[in-house]
């Protein structure tokens, strides 16, 4: 009987960065910067989340929801959010200037989307909005999403697929 030979291990390539002291610092295994994904992938995710029969329907709902959200987002929030999204989504979120006099309650926002979707019933419009904003939340990441929700009137967290937290003050 022979003893098995150990498997030969090939050294894994390492990327390193020189430091100011001359020693090499290992490169991170992943990037901390979120890279925007593609518009087709965003729409595919909305289609899956909302269980839409076609990509065209998912895209129509997405475009309407993001355009309707646009005037409710202050400039700093838009900037941090749009960096994480496909350019098409970023363009829709910057389509209208911020209107500081237009913060609307979540129910009013859903009603606006319903009207823009050919007077869709409110429960169906809420489904559409939640499908889009849940995907938006996934792409934006938790930090950006939580900051965005904090800037909007109470009630929006549920539309983003998050628990509504009680606000202090």
Domain range for 140 = 43-159
Q: What is the pLDDT of residue 30?
A: 42
Our count of domains for the chain comes to 1
Q: What is the pLDDT of residue 130?
A: 98
Q: Per the domain annotation, does 148 fall within a domain? A: yes
Residue 62 predicted with pLDDT over 80: yes
Whichever domain contains 84, its CATH number is: 1.10.490.110
d(CA 129, CA 10): 51
d(CA 75, CA 93): 10
Q: Which whole number is the average pLDDT over 63-89?
A: 90
Q: Name the nearest CA neighbour of 70 among 90, 89, 95.
A: 95
Residue 125 predicted with pLDDT over 60: yes
Question: Of 19-23, 71-75, 81-85, where does mean pLDDT reach its minimum?
Answer: 19-23
Q: What sign does the CA torsion over 101, 106, 111, 114 have?
A: positive
Residue 139 predicted with pLDDT over 50: yes
Q: Per the domain annotation, does 14 fall within a domain? A: no
Q: What is the pLDDT of residue 164?
A: 76
Q: Per the domain annotation, does 140 fall within a domain? A: yes
Residue 20 predicted with pLDDT over 70: no
Share of the chain above pLDDT 90, in %: 56
Q: Per the domain annotation, does 75 fall within a domain? A: yes
CB 85 within 8 A of CB 36: yes
CB 70 within 8 A of CB 95: yes
Residue 87 predicted with pLDDT over 90: yes
Burial of 100-115, coded b for 16+ CB within 10 Å and e otherwise, reads eeeebebeebbebbbe
Q: Per the domain annotation, does 17 fall within a domain? A: no
The confidence band for 14, taking pLDDT boundaries of 50, 70 and 90, is very low
Instruction: List beta partners, residue 18.
Output: 24
Specify the DSSP element, H or E, that contains 108.
Answer: helix 106-116
Residue 160 predicted with pLDDT over 50: yes
Question: Of 23-27, 106-110, 125-129, where does mean pLDDT reach its minimum?
Answer: 23-27
Q: Per the domain annotation, does 7 fall within a domain? A: no
Q: Per the domain annotation, does 25 fall within a domain? A: no
Q: What is the pLDDT of residue 74?
A: 84
Is residue 131 helix, strand or coil?
helix
Q: Per the domain annotation, does 106 fall within a domain? A: yes
CB 46 within 8 A of CB 135: yes
CB 84 within 8 A of CB 141: yes
Q: What is the pLDDT of residue 28?
A: 44
Residue 40 predicted with pLDDT over 90: yes
d(CA 36, CA 168): 33
């Amino acid at each position: 009987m022979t003893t098995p030979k150990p498997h030969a291990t090939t050294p894994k390539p390492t990327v390193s960065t020189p430091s100011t002291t001359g020693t090499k610092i290992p490169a991170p295994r992943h990037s901390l910067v979120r890279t925007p994904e593609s518009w087709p992938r965003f729409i595919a995710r909305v289609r899956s989340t909302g269980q839409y029969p076609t990509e065209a329907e998912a895209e129509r709902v997405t475009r309407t929801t993001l355009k309707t959200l646009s005037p409710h987002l202050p400039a700093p929030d838009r900037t941090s959010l749009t960096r994480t999204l496909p350019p098409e989504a970023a363009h829709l979120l910057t389509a209208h200037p911020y209107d500081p006099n237009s913060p609307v309650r979540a129910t009013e926002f859903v009603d606006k989307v319903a009207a823009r979707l050919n007077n869709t019933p409110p429960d169906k419009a809420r489904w559409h909005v939640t499908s889009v904003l849940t995907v938006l939340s996934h792409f934006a990441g938790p930090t950006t999403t939580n900051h965005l929700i904090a800037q909007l009137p109470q009630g929006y967290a549920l539309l983003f697929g998050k628990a509504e937290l009680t606000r202090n003050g």
